[in-house]
Amino acid sequence: MTEFDIPTEQLKRQHSADIAMANRQWMILDVRGGWQVKTPTNLYTITPTPEHLICSCPDYQRYGALGIQCKHICGLMIHLEEGGMPRLQKPIQKGDVRMNTEFLKESGWVKLFHPSSAQVTIPLRLDKPILVTEAQALMESVTSLLQAGFSVDAPGLEKGEHVEEIGFVVRRSKANADGTETPVVDLYPSRGNFRQLGKYLNNEGDIQAFESAYGLALSGLPLYEGDNSIERGKNPKLDKYVIALKHPVKVVWKLNPKYGGENDKKNSKRLFARWADLPVIGDGNQVLHPIEKLSLEEAQSVVCPLGSKSHPEFRGMTLEQVDQTEDGRKVLEYLAGNQYQPNGDNLGQQAKEAAKILLTILQTA
């Protein structure tokens, strides 16, 4: 069963709302008894209750009971913080039957921090100021939640850290002044088209940690030679460099204190902290797990993805059959070398790794 991490799921919905509201993809309508969120494809209704907000979308119907706010509610909160105003929700009568609806005054919303660093969103009535005694009661309520065991940060995270579920990766390379190159991996969220983080693999340990976290070899990824990150789904010619992971991998990040806003082209907004699924040992390093390798039998049974002018018949043969031919060794060396780039082709990537295994066996035989 897939682990359902509530803080991570909430972050994903907040991220979707941030993008939609920033790009003006949604329209928030103030209607009787609540609000409506008009998206490019649907219209959802959000209704306030004394305890929380309720959305008519399938996501809220499924996960709202867990305390998760859907992306539409997150979008509404952004709308209200930017000056949107809630509508009065008045009692409704149908004949002699009075609806069981709580009368809600017009209110605004404010985000404040508890001394523990917990951020809370508090409704403010507009018809009268909140009293000091009422504010103290709110403070005590948050304190009671923390004393009961609720945490300011998600379990396993330190102050200021966040966790993101990565579903896609792109391999790049940074040219250095001394003529060397540093591998770079761009990390994309499971449900997002823009790069979330960029991670420089400055040494062999960084490469091993990346490979261990993702269960794949860096050399097996196609190399994208562009300087800027790819917008996933925008250009089919570039999407071949965006590799989807078999299973999402969590990464821990924190905000960059040097980031100066949208016009800051030098400093990134987020800083990589660590791979979430690799345990940390006493010296601060992460324990690496071996990458799942093909067995010799599996490598031999991999199908050759290409042929040559002199040997077109190699395409479709197993690598074991290719190896038994006169020019088979040259074909394996080509597949395993840097000259051959599969460019996102899964069969080509598998053949590349299989050729490396077979060459290693042949050299030690």
Q: Report which of 177, 196, 178, 175 is spatially closest to residue 186, judged by C-alpha positions.
A: 196
61 & 129 share domain: yes
Q: How many domains does the chain have?
A: 3
Give the pLDDT band of residue 185 (cuts 50, 70, 90): very high
Mean predicted confidence (pLDDT) in 258-267: 80
Question: Domain span at residue 308?
Answer: 296-364
Looking at the predicted structure, is the pLDDT value of residue 365 above 80?
Answer: no
Q: What is the mean pLDDT of residues 325-331?
A: 88
> Which pLDDT score is estimated for 37?
94
Between 362 and 174, the higher pLDDT residue = 174
Greater confidence, 2 or 144? 144
More confident position, 341 or 185: 185
Residues 218 and 250 placed together within one structural domain of the fold: yes
Residues 11-30 have a mean pLDDT of: 87
Same domain, residue pair 93 and 218? no
Q: What value does the mean pLDDT take over residues 231-253? A: 87
Q: Give me 70's structure tokens.
A: 């859907």
Alpha-carbon gap, residue 262 to 185, rounded angstroms: 22
In a domain, 154, yes or no: no
What pLDDT is recorded for position 82? 64
Answer yes or no: do 129 and 175 share one domain: no
Pair of tokens at residue 268: 């990134």
What is the DSSP secondary-structure string of 275-293? Answer: ETTS-B-TTS-BPPPPP-P
Which pLDDT score, from 0 to 100, does residue 94 have? 41
- The model's pLDDT over 97-154, given as tens digits with 9 standing for 90+, comes to 333 333 333 556 777 877 776 777 777 766 677 888 888 888 888 888 888 877 666 6
Mean pLDDT for 4-30 is 84
The helix or strand, by DSSP H or E, that contains position 134, with its residue range, turns out to be helix 132-147
Whether residues 60 and 121 fall in one domain:
yes
Neighbours of 222 (CB within 10 A): 18
Tell me the pLDDT of the chain averaged across its residues: 79
Tell me the CA distances in angstroms from 122 to 28, 81, 108, 139, one per residue in order.
21, 11, 8, 11
Residue 101: its pLDDT value, please? 32
Of 91, 123, 147, which closes a domain? Answer: 147
Are residues 270 and 321 located together in one domain of the fold?
no
The Cα–Cα gap between 30 and 357 comes to 63
Same domain, 269 and 304: no
- Which pLDDT does position 24 carry in this prediction? 83
CA distance 226 to 242: 13
Looking at the fold, whether 243 and 266 belong to one and the same domain comes out as yes
- The region, left, alpha or beta by phi > 0 then psi within -120 to 50, assigned to residue 118 is beta
247 found inside a domain: yes
The closest of 16, 121, 8 to 74, measured between CA atoms, is 16
Most confidently modeled range among 289-293, 294-298, 313-317: 313-317
